[in-house]
Amino acid sequence: MITAKRAGAIALALIAAQLVVRAVLVIWGNFYWDDLILISRASSNPILSWDFLGHSHDGHFMPGAFLVAGLSTVIAPVQWWLPALTLVVLQAVASFAVWRMIRVIAPKALGWGLAALAFYLFVPMTVSAFVWWSAGLNTLPMQAAMAIVVANAVLLVRDRPDATRSRRLLIGAVVAFAVALLFFEKSLFIVPVAFVAALLAVRGSTRPQWTGGEVDYRNTPLTQTFVRARTLWLTLGGLFVAWTVLFLATSDATAGEHSISQTLHLVWRSINNAIIPSLVGGPWTWERWTPSPPMGFPSVWMIVLGWLVLVALIVATVKFKRGAPTIWVFALLYAVGAQLPVMWNRSSENTALELAQTMRYLPDTALVLTIAFALIAAAPRNVGAHSAEVAEPDRRLAGIGVGCVAVLVLSAMVATMSFGQSWRDDPTGAYLDNARASMAEMDGKTMFDQPLPLEVLLPVAYPNNMISNVFGRLRERPDFGNVTDDLKVLNPQGQLVAGMVSPVRTFKPSRGSCARPGIDGPVKLPLSGPLMDWQFTVSFSYCADRDGAIEVRLEGGDPVEVPVRAGLHAAYLQLDGHGTELRIRPVTPGLKLHTGDGRVGQPVMAEPVP
């Protein structure tokens, strides 16, 4: 049997290897989709306000995740290094918590416990949610908390520690659960997982007692699991109920149309095309259809092999380990059941089945399978032979186990690197780097707001797809306004270029000339056609006889005051409204001006995209 010291050294090496791989992944990555929405909200709201922390983001209630995102945005706005560091640190916390949990569950089977740890550390099911910052802020605290609560529950129920240690274990579990809830409502699953894990961990040490020919059910594993940690279960249960009520009161997760048929298809795709190939380290092939995240496409042989491995594991463990069937039932129930509410919320006629193949909803399933492996390792043997009689088979079995784990890790590395290459194939990072430099170049000047490129963030995220929100926390940035005399825009690569106004409508010069300005009071300049009610950008050249200001408006919209300077210049402004004419009125007494040809439309690049 492997010693605890040696097992600890091997575990430390495995965790270090995992963190190196994860560090490479975050170096290759950058912000993506929801990350920019979190940044945008942190830039347009006070980060300690309930409007920010209590916002229902795509059905999620996650004030803790919002707080971390807000602090990161304030400290290093639109800079990837701090979120990347956050992900690696959270992964380290989760990985060490999982190893502690395994040591608690299977202290006498640390060799097989290391195999379970390797599965958790490297299985592809945990990768896609890790590199995506907003998803990692959800699931990594949940993983760490689940490991802590499960370990503490097992210690309380199985070992029955003294009062002082029991109090520490109780407080640690409750705090971990509460923190996890702040980051992800799915952390509610921690309570039933911890209870079942504690029940399965002690099922062999407590048995019904016969009293007068009847069973004393006070000593059954189920009752003892509850009684020995009564305070823990009642406290966690209270938090569970309170948080569920709060979540339902604040979240819009159940909004929209849902489909039972689509839900079942998504769940099956998640199982057959994601969980099953992960058991053999797959999938090796990942494809990305920008702006969607990468999706795994396992080969048919990998799916078939995954099912065979699952069946072989179940058959072997049921044959050699007492209680293995019950452990497998609970683990597989979680693997299926945990997908149902997620896929129900995502189900609709427009949802592609490939959503399930992104695998970002599976990290907790990987951890529950790890718990199952640890419980099976700790379970007593079914055979009645003495240790001397089974030593040789055990050595052969250990050798086979080491070989299988090595193959699994190697296969998982192929899948992880393939995922990483697909993940880094994204224009967001380069766009943000260029845009930050462009914002600094426009520091102190006025710039019109504009949306991010479609391949970075789609308009459905409005107004969080606007550059004024995403870059609002930058120290060096332009003032976003509606009047300027030098129109600049960002091109699709985030570079600052000269802008112009598209000629949706045009208008002719006003009466008079630069020598004899004809506008000395309210005038109406006819447009080349009618405008629908919208926000438009107007551009025109003008000659003014002095410095001052004019007022410009469209029918149905508020007037916009535009400063003008003596001489020949250009003006650009944004205003709302509709109609068939542009109305101009001098504000400064005695001001006269003449306007040249003008356009009403949208700001675009002056030079076409090459």
pLDDT tens per residue across span 285-303: 999 887 888 999 999 999 9
Q: What is the pLDDT of residue 391?
A: 47
Which of 252-261, 388-397, 510-519 bottoms out in mean pLDDT, i.e. has the lowest?
388-397
Enter the tokens of residue 187.
């952390």
Q: What is the pLDDT of residue 255?
A: 63
Contact residues for 440 (Cβ-Cβ < 8 A; gap 6+): 474, 476, 477
Enter the tokens of residue 242.
């309170």
The mean pLDDT value for 351-363 works out to 87
Q: Which of 233, 251, 269 is the last residue of a domain?
A: 251
Q: Kindly state whether residue 580 falls inside one of the protein's structural domains.
A: yes
Q: Kindly state whether residue 296 falls inside one of the protein's structural domains.
A: no
**Across all residues in the chain, what is the average pLDDT?**
91
Q: Kindly state whether residue 525 falls inside one of the protein's structural domains.
A: yes
Q: Does the pLDDT at position 208 exceed 70?
A: no
Q: Kindly state whether residue 476 falls inside one of the protein's structural domains.
A: no
Compute the distance between CA of residue 587 and CA of residue 522 in angstroms, rounded to an integer: 10
Q: Does the pLDDT at position 351 exceed 90?
A: no
Q: What is the pLDDT of residue 608?
A: 61
Q: Does the pLDDT at position 610 exceed 60?
A: no
Structural domains of the chain, count: 2
Q: Kindly state whether residue 419 falls inside one of the protein's structural domains.
A: no
361: alpha, beta or left, given left = phi > 0 and alpha = psi -120 to 50?
alpha
More confident: 172 or 391: 172
Which of 129-138, 211-220, 278-287, 418-427 bottoms out in mean pLDDT, i.e. has the lowest?
211-220
% pLDDT > 90, the chain: 80
- For the chain, report the end-to-end CA distance as a whole number of angstroms: 67
Q: Kindly state whether residue 101 falls inside one of the protein's structural domains.
A: no
Compute the distance between CA of residue 151 and CA of residue 300 in angstroms, rounded to an integer: 38
Q: Kindly state whether residue 547 falls inside one of the protein's structural domains.
A: yes
pLDDT in tens, 128-152: 999 999 999 999 999 999 999 999 9
Q: Kindly state whether residue 161 falls inside one of the protein's structural domains.
A: yes
Q: What is the pLDDT of residue 384?
A: 53
Q: Which of 234, 251, 268 is the last residue of a domain?
A: 251
Compute the distance between CA of residue 278 and CA of residue 266 in angstroms, rounded to an integer: 17
pLDDT in tens, 359-402: 999 999 999 999 999 999 999 988 654 444 444 455 666 677 78
CATH of the domain at 598: 2.60.120.260
Q: Does the pLDDT at position 14 exceed 50?
A: yes
Q: Which of 212, 233, 251 is the last residue of a domain?
A: 251
Q: Where does the pLDDT of residue 253 fall: very low under 50, low under 70, confident under 90, or very high at 90 and above?
A: low
Q: What is the pLDDT of residue 399?
A: 72
pLDDT in tens, 479-513: 999 999 999 999 999 999 999 999 999 999 999 99
Q: Is 324 exposed, middle or buried (0-12, 13-18, 19+ CB in 10 A)?
A: buried
Which of 6-20, 238-252, 387-401, 583-597 bottoms out in mean pLDDT, i.e. has the lowest?
387-401
Compute the distance between CA of residue 193 and CA of residue 514 in angstroms, rounded to an integer: 80
% pLDDT > 70, the chain: 93
The mean pLDDT value for 52-61 works out to 89
Range of the domain at 536: 505-605
Q: What is the pLDDT of residue 605?
A: 94
Compute the distance between CA of residue 40 and CA of residue 438 in angstroms, rounded to an integer: 18
Q: What is the pLDDT of residue 211?
A: 46
pLDDT in tens, 523-579: 999 999 999 999 999 999 999 999 999 999 999 999 999 999 999 999 999 999 999
Q: What is the pLDDT of residue 458?
A: 92
Q: Is 99 exposed, middle or buried (0-12, 13-18, 19+ CB in 10 A)?
A: buried
Q: What is the pTM of this model?
A: 0.91
Q: What is the pLDDT of residue 216?
A: 55
Smallest CA-to-CA distance from 31 within 78, 75, 74 is with 78
